[in-house]
Amino acid sequence: MIKLVALVRRRPDLDLYAFRDYWLNTHAPLAAAIPGMRGYRINIAGDPGAQPAAPYDGSAEIWFDDSAAMEAGLGSEQGRIAGEDTTHFAESLEFLVTEEHVILGGGA
């Protein structure tokens, strides 16, 4: 299994609430329709507290069985629609294709 991680910067004309609302309520259902996805998680940046602020406003994690499934899903009509929709809330996206290694399981 592989995971596609998208590091997202919000559009400068959107406040954090509008960014969050669009990503979760409009974009997420479009992205969730991409064929071959095994999981989908959105992480919205919060107050960093004592940590330095990150240059990203959030990330998405999408799991696929393998590279072929990822390419097929992202290349599908649903993948194209979701990809084009990112311009409504994201100024930029950077992608990492990763192999996940769980060291300590996390809970919701």
| Domains of the chain by residue range | 2-45+56-98
Q: Tell me, what's the pLDDT at 48?
A: 85
What is the percentage of the chain residues whose pLDDT exceeds 70? 98
**3-state class (DSSP) for residue 41:** strand
Distance CA 10, CA 64 (A): 25
Query: What is the band of 31 on the pLDDT scale with cuts at 50, 70, 90?
Result: very high
The CATH class, in words, for 2-45+56-98 is: alpha beta
C-alpha torsion 41→45→47→49, nearest 10: 80
What is the percentage of the chain residues whose pLDDT exceeds 90? 83
Q: Tell me, what's the pLDDT at 70?
A: 97
pTM reported for the whole predicted model:
0.89
Distance CA 96, CA 107 (A): 23
Residue 58: CB atoms within 10 Å = 22
Looking at every residue in the chain, the average pLDDT score rounds to: 95
Asked if 60 and 43 count as a contact pair (C-beta separation under 8 A), the reply is: yes
Place of tokens 């499934």: 69
Tell me: pLDDT of 107 over 70: no
Tell me: pLDDT of 26 over 90: yes
Q: Tell me, what's the pLDDT at 101?
A: 87
